[in-house]
Structure formats: structure tokens, C-alpha cells
Amino acid sequence: MKPRVFVSRHFPGEGIALLKKSCDVRIGVMKGTCPRKKLLQGAKWADAIVTLLTDKVDAEVYDQNPRLKIVANYAVGFDNIDLAEATKRGVLVTNTPGAQTESVAEHAIGLMMVLGKRIREADAFMRAGKYKGWDPDLLLGTEFDGKVCGVIGVGRIGSIFVKFAKALGMSIIYNDVVRSPDIEQKYDAKPVDINTLLKQCDVISIHVPLMPSTRHLINAGHLKLMKKTAFLINTSRGPVIDETALVSALKRRQIGGAGLDVYEFEPKLVPGLAKLDNVVLTPHIASATWEARDSMSRIAAQCVLAAFKGEVPEALVNKDVLQKNPWIKTGA
């Protein structure tokens, strides 16, 4: 019998075709979010499930099926997955690191550019037929060269963002739970505490995973420390910023603007956010490039196939699960 893979929702890229070569694959839904009931049924039937960041994967899911070997999350973030419960049951959890690094860092730069160059307002202005001739006062924006860029979280995505910002002539300071000698050497980036970073920066871009310690990492008090002209960019996870506090800071022009791809109560926005003219909003599409989606798709599939072969998937997140897994070759 072929191994069974349940994919909660169809996604672009070659991964599903790769799985179909050697596995029995069922797709939960072609569009939209997989209903909970379908996800549970899928978990019951399958040896592996491939999930999206919109699927909540918890004890109830694992308990459908003691044979469940692996949950491969089609995302770099895995805050939708209860890792401890997976580990307890010997279920491997994988993500897709590296697949979306450039796409997400480029998107963050894009949000920053749209804010600084006022592209959103300028585009609306043109479409409204308001352009009557060159005007030296029209839509004045910001130059980034020579400004200070603060990066919170310098993992894969954060360090590529640092590289881009440096190429724009910005000087770099960063905050992370671990030092990164690599970006300190390559880009002359200085590690600072979060308050110093918020006070000194013209642009702040967030690249941390969502965990209990990063929930509301940016709160009302932090927003008060920021320069009146500073831009806050978030392409990580919404709950990292207290969005209600952010809306209030933006309303009072306490900060210069915000470029957001993720939201605290996604897909809902905190009331008032979409009315502000000093924000740029995109619908969680920082990793939505053909390149990233294909790579995410292949990595997710390869993780499943590796697990079926009894190998350790490269993108294993809950590494401590290996002690619990008699069927996996730990290589040790």
C-alpha cells in the first residue's frame, strides 16, 4: 500500500506532483481554508499531513491517528502548530526554511519604498486624474540613503533584509536574542537593545517568529519611543505588534507610517487601520512569488518523502522528537 498524504489545501509549485509519484494523495480543499472537520478526517486517514499556516494543528489533530508520522507545514512560520504535543506523540514537524527568504525580504523593502516614496497615494492621485503638471511641492517623501535601519530578528530573512538596506546606503543596527557576528562583520551592523533600536531608527523591520516571547514585542510604550518620522515594517506575524496601539500611534502621527503584510487578528484588521493614509497594507503575500511558492512546495514534499524513507527531514523543527522515534534513522 502506498503511503497516504493528506494536503489540507491545494497550493502552487511542484510539491504535490512529487508526492503523487509515490504516495496516495488527498487534497482537503482546492480553495479557501480547509474546514476543521476535513482536517481531522484527513489526519485520521493519512500517514502524513501537509498543512498551511491557517490550519490549527493541535492535540486533537494528532489524536485522530496514532500512525501519523509527520506534519509538513507549507510555511516558514509554524506558530499554528502545537510542537510540544507533536513531540510527545513522536510526530515530526517540518517547515520550509530558506524557500521564502528573498521574497519576504524584498517585500519588506517594497513596503518601505511604497511608504517613503508615497507610491500608494501617488498612484491613487494619478488614477483620479489629479495630475495637472509638475509641482515641486507634490507628494514629498523620504530618501533612505544615510538613514538608520533597525532590524528586529536577523535570521535568514532579517539578514537578507540587512543586505538590501545596506545596499541602499543605510546604516544598520539590530536586535536579536543571539548575536550575529556574520552581519556585524559583513554589514557593519551593531547589536542594540530594543529600546535603543526604536529610538534611533528611521526604518524598523521585524523578522522574528511568533512565540510567547515575541507576542506584542512592539507595544504602546515601544511605539512612543520611535521617531515621529519612522516607518515600521512587519512581514513576520501580526501578533508581534499590538495592532490597536499601532493604529492609535498612527492616528496621532506619533510615528511616520507602517507597512504591514500581517495582522494581529488576521484576516481582520483592527478598526481604523484601513482608513489611515500613513499605512500600506498587503494581504500576507510577502512569500507570494512563483519562486518562493515552488520552493516551499518542494521542501514540504521532500520532508514528507524523507520521513517515509525513515530519514530525518532536513527542515525538522522539533528535533527532540528524534529520541521518541524508533522508526527514524537518526544517523547516530
3 binds ligand GLV per the rule CB under 6 A: no
What's the closest the beta carbon of residue 180 comes to ligand GLV, in angstroms?
11
Task: With H, G, I as helix, E, B as strand and everything else as coil, classify residue 103.
Answer: helix
Q: Is 287 in the site for ligand GLV (CB under 6 A)?
A: yes
Is 107 near ligand GLV (CB under 6 A)? Answer: no
Decide: is 16 part of the binding site for ligand GLV (CB under 6 A).
no
In this chain, which of 111, 157, 247, 250 binds ligand GLV, going by CB under 6 A? 157
d(CA 23, CA 275): 48
> Does 103 sit near ligand GLV (CB under 6 A)?
no
For 56, 118, 130, 209, the CA distances from 127, given in Å and listed in that order, are: 41, 14, 8, 38
| Residue 45 in grid coordinates | 486517514
Binding status of residue 101 toward ligand GLV by CB under 6 A: yes
- Closest approach of Cβ 214 to ligand GLV, in Å? 12
Q: Does 118 bind ligand GLV (CB under 6 A)?
A: no
- Nearest residue to 42 via CA among 16, 59, 23, 62: 62
Query: Hey, which residues does 50 pair with through a beta bridge?
Result: 7, 72
Exposure string of 241-275, with b = 16+ CB inside 10 Å and e = fewer, is bbbbbbbebbeeebbbbbbbbbbbeeeebbeebee
Alpha-carbon distance of 73 to 58, in angstroms, equals 13
Q: Judged by CB, which is closer to ligand GLV: 43, or 315?
A: 315
What residues between 192 and 231 interact with ligand GLV by CB under 6 A?
A: 207
Residue of the chain from 158, 239, 256, 259 that contacts ligand GLV (CB under 6 A): 158
Catalytic residues: 237, 266, 284
Compute the least distance from the CB of residue 277 to ligand GLV, in Å: 26
Interhelix angle 101-116/119-127, rounded to 10 degrees, is 60
Q: Does 75 bind ligand GLV (CB under 6 A)?
A: yes
Residue closest to 74 by CA, chosen among 106, 110, 100: 100
**259 is a site residue for ligand GLV (CB under 6 A):** no
Binding residues for ligand GLV, per CB under 6 A?
A: 53, 75-77, 97, 100-101, 155-158, 207, 287
